[in-house]
């Protein structure tokens, strides 16, 4: 009997906690401390920046529509998502019309209008501004204000998916008055504006020390009178992922830590201190091996790693890449290196779920015997008895490179061991990220020059339309000395059928048909062995047990609903 009574006060407490959360007043929740170990340096997402900058900016700057945690579009500064049905998208697919919510104010008290949206588009589309989001405005011909609350975006050709401009955290609306003097070449020199943009979001910036800390307080003109809950927000940067995780999970100094790609054991141990929770969310990011289908032999000179230099002695054979893929135990790899942050996958287009093909799932189970059989079939056997397969005097030895990163080096070691079991030798190489991902023409070590047989990194696509992503493997996107080694078709894959299907995708409107074509494109890439997908990667963050309302979102800013966050007291 007494045991029943023991729970009554607790239950009463939790009910009262719920009611305070539901009826929270603006600013009633105290201070909120977040830690972004990669410190924000710039709060204007249009200039050179990454998620470490655009997420802290998302407390202030808002787009017309966001993605929620399931990847679904939700209207934000707009009243509704324009569609063909509601007339927001023109029947010829050449324009989209957004209607803005009325009565929205900037944090300085001025009114938010369609002119701000038009200004932002012109700001980014100016070729001299150094705007990094120009790809979001591809084919945009004109952005005009039909009236103070209506914006029409016209495209130069029919756009089956017109939701690139002003959807998502990377393309928010800037205040026209504040940025008036920052057009074109001046954009990069507007320090004051770029470090403290005025926005419509729940918070405004009170102080920003680049590379260190951002301090916010409540935007007094925020549209919802009851929100946000927290009075003051601090985003602290610096240190590393394990220090950030410790500050939330072990010492409790911080309420939220972002981007915690850590050894699963380390994270698990910290979690056991009981102060916080680890949350993850899966987007479109896939860690993959890029297979060099061309010959990377150093003796080829300028033709090295180009289609002119001829095909790769063994990797161009899909049987061989299939064998390499089958030799990998993806589940073990994830247990050791990724933990909550990874799921095995055999598709390079692994998400959104409706686009996942699943036709290549045979690789999910490791099968060393089948892998050996495939190599035997391909004619690669160990004739000289040195443990490494060979054929016509060529030995199956591969150079496998990636960027310096503990998880990637662990992966390299594991893969090397598995491949040794099927008689393939691997030489490993790790390159500093700034060099590997850099575009320095004089460096032989960039991922695009690909002077190796295999390389590994993650790629993803923002939003939920895979068309630009699938365009990466068109023949025209192959990096060559002629185009300055630009282009994302790193495997040097070129198939006229693939290109034809891509063109068809560009002209297809129906979502079901788009999905079917996208799956087909994914399968073509997989069957040709251009890529070996390893891990569908998620984002991992941690928050204090007392923090409520977190809806971890990989499709947009993780802080997208920060106005709803509260503290369970």
Partner 1 sequence: MLTYCLRRLAFSVPVLIFISFAIFLLMDMAPNDPTANLPMSIPAETRAQLREALGMGDPLVTRYLLWCKQFFIHEPLNWLTDLTGLSFGDPDRLRVLSWASRAPVVELIAERLPQTLWVVGSSYVIGILIALPVGIYSAYRQHGWFDHLGSFISMIGYSVPSFFLGVVMIVIFAVKLNWFPSVYDTTLTVTGWESFLAQLRQMVMPVTILALYNAAQISRYMRASMLENLHHDCVRTARAKGASERRVVLAHVARNSMLPVVTVIALGIPQVLAGAIITEQIFKINGIGALLISSIQSGDLPVVQTLTFLFAVLIVLFNLLADIAYGLLDPRISYD
The CA–CA distances, whole Å, from 189 to 124, 132, 293 equal 15, 15, 44
Candidates 149, 236, 319, 519; binder of partner 1 (CB under 8 A) is: 236
Q: Does 49 bind partner 1 (CB under 8 A)?
A: yes
The CA–CA distances, whole Å, from 42 to 197, 310, 558 equal 10, 45, 18
Q: Does 506 bind partner 1 (CB under 8 A)?
A: no
In the bound state with partner 1, the residue whose beta carbon lies nearer, of 435 and 515, is 435
The CA–CA distances, whole Å, from 522 to 271, 472, 490 equal 37, 12, 16
* Residue 417 main-chain phi, psi, to 5 deg: -65, -45
d(CA 345, CA 286): 8
- Cβ pair 184, 166 in contact under 8 A: no
Q: How far is the CB of 340 from partner 1 (least distance, A)?
A: 22
Q: Does 132 bind partner 1 (CB under 8 A)?
A: yes
Q: Does 349 bind partner 1 (CB under 8 A)?
A: no
SS3 342: strand
Q: Does 35 bind partner 1 (CB under 8 A)?
A: yes
Candidates 488, 494, 502, 550; binder of partner 1 (CB under 8 A) is: 488
In the bound state with partner 1, the residue whose beta carbon lies nearer, of 254 and 565, is 254
Q: Does 486 bind partner 1 (CB under 8 A)?
A: yes
d(CA 50, CA 46): 10
Q: Does 461 bind partner 1 (CB under 8 A)?
A: yes
Angle subtended at Cα 136 by Cα 132 and Cα 137, rounded to the nearest 5 degrees: 100
Contacts with partner 1 by CB under 8 A: the residue count is 70
Q: Residue 458's closest CA among 479, 487, 437, 430?
A: 437
Q: Does 345 bind partner 1 (CB under 8 A)?
A: no
**What are 95's two structure tokens?**
């324009």
Q: How far is the CB of 191 from partner 1 (least distance, A)?
A: 5
In the bound state with partner 1, the residue whose beta carbon lies nearer, of 167 and 374, is 167
Q: Does 495 bind partner 1 (CB under 8 A)?
A: no
Candidates 17, 27, 28, 50; binder of partner 1 (CB under 8 A) is: 50
Q: How far is the CB of 311 from partner 1 (least distance, A)?
A: 25
Q: How far is the CB of 211 from partner 1 (least distance, A)?
A: 6
Residue linked to tokens 């940025």 = 179
Q: How far is the CB of 273 from partner 1 (least distance, A)?
A: 8
In the bound state with partner 1, the residue whose beta carbon lies nearer, of 246 and 322, is 246
SS3 402: strand
Q: Does 438 bind partner 1 (CB under 8 A)?
A: yes
Burial (CB count <10 Å: 0-12, 13-18, 19+), residue 367 = middle
d(CA 201, CA 222): 7
Q: Does 481 bind partner 1 (CB under 8 A)?
A: no
User: Which range, of 5-13, 115-123, 203-211, 310-318, touches partner 1 by CB under 8 A?
Assistant: 203-211
User: What residues numbered 243-262 form the site for partner 1, per CB under 8 A?
Assistant: 243, 246-247, 250-251, 253-254
In the bound state with partner 1, the residue whose beta carbon lies nearer, of 423 and 463, is 463
d(CA 312, CA 341): 33
Q: How far is the CB of 401 from partner 1 (least distance, A)?
A: 14
Candidates 158, 318, 433, 549; binder of partner 1 (CB under 8 A) is: 433
In the bound state with partner 1, the residue whose beta carbon lies nearer, of 137 and 282, is 137
d(CA 260, CA 248): 11
d(CA 226, CA 25): 5
- Cβ pair 519, 466 in contact under 8 A: no
Q: Does 341 bind partner 1 (CB under 8 A)?
A: no
d(CA 465, CA 487): 19
- Cβ pair 157, 151 in contact under 8 A: no
Q: Residue 483's closest CA among 299, 306, 293?
A: 306
Q: Does 492 bind partner 1 (CB under 8 A)?
A: no
In the bound state with partner 1, the residue whose beta carbon lies nearer, of 268 and 310, is 268
In the bound state with partner 1, the residue whose beta carbon lies nearer, of 41 and 280, is 41
Q: Residue 546's closest CA among 281, 252, 272, 202?
A: 252
Q: Does 406 bind partner 1 (CB under 8 A)?
A: no
State the residues that interact with partner 1 by CB under 8 A.
Answer: 35, 37, 39, 41-42, 47-51, 127-135, 185, 187-191, 194-195, 207, 209-213, 215, 234, 236-240, 243, 246-247, 250-251, 253-254, 273, 433-440, 442-443, 445, 457-462, 468, 484, 486-488
């Amino acid at each position: 009997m007494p045991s029943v009574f023991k729970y009554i006060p607790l239950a009463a407490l939790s009910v009262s906690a719920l009611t305070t959360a539901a009826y929270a007043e603006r600013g009633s929740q105290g201070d909120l401390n977040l830690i972004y170990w990669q410190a924000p340096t710039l709060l204007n997402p249009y200039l050179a920046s990454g998620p470490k900058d655009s997420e802290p900016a998302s407390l202030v700057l808002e787009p017309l529509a966001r993605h929620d945690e399931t990847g679904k579009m939700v209207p934000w500064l707009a009243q509704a998502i324009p569609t063909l049905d509601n007339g927001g998208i023109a029947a010829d697919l050449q324009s989209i019309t957004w209607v803005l919510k009325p009565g929205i104010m900037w944090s300085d008290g001025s009114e938010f209008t369609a002119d701000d949206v038009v200004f932002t588009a012109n700001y980014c589309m100016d070729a001299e501004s150094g705007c990094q989001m120009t790809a979001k405005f591809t084919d945009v011909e004109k952005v005009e204000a039909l009236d103070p609350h209506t914006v029409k975006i016209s495209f130069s050709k029919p756009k089956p998916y017109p939701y690139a401009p002003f959807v998502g955290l990377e393309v928010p609306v800037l205040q026209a008055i504040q940025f008036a003097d920052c057009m074109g070449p001046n954009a990069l020199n507007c320090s004051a504006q770029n470090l403290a943009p005025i926005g419509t979001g729940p918070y405004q910036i009170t102080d920003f020390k680049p590379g260190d800390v951002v301090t916010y307080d409540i935007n007094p003109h925020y549209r919802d009178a009851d929100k946000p809950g927290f009075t003051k927000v601090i985003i602290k940067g610096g240190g590393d992922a394990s220090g950030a995780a410790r500050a939330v999970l072990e010492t409790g100094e911080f309420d939220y830590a972002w981007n915690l790609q850590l050894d699963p054991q380390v994270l698990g141990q910290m979690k056991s201190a009981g102060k916080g929770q680890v949350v993850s969310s899966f987007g479109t990011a896939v860690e993959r091996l890029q297979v060099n289908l061309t010959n990377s032999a150093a003796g080829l000179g300028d033709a090295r790693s180009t289609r002119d230099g001829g095909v790769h002695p063994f990797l161009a054979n899909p049987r061989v890449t299939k064998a390499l893929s089958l030799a990998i135990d993806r589940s073990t790899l994830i247990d050791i290196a990724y933990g909550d942050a990874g799921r095995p996958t055999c598709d390079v287009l692994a998400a959104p779920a409706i686009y996942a093909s699943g036709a290549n799932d045979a690789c999910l189970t490791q099968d060393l015997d089948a892998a050996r059989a495939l190599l035997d079939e391909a004619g690669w056997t160990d004739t000289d008895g040195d443990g490494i397969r060979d054929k016509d005097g060529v030995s199956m030895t591969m150079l496998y490179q990636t960027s310096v990163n503990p998880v990637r080096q662990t992966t390299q070691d594991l893969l090397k061991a598995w491949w040794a079991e099927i008689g393939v030798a691997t030489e490993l190489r790790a390159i500093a990220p700034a060099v590997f991902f850099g575009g320095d023409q004089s460096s032989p070590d960039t991922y695009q020059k690909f002077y190796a047989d295999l390389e590994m990194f993650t790629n993803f696509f923002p939003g939920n339309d895979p068309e630009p992503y699938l365009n990466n493997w068109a023949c025209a996107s192959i990096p060559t000395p002629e185009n300055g080694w630009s282009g994302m078709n790193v495997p040097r894959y070129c198939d006229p059928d693939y290109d034809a299907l891509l063109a068809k995708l560009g002209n297809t409107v129906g979502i079901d048909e788009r999905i079917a074509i996208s799956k087909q494109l994914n399968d073509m890439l997989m069957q040709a062995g251009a890529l070996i997908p390893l891990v569908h990667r998620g984002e991992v963050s941690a928050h204090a047990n007392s923090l409520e309302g977190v809806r971890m979102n990989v499709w947009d800013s993780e802080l997208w609903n920060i106005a709803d966050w509260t503290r369970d007291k």
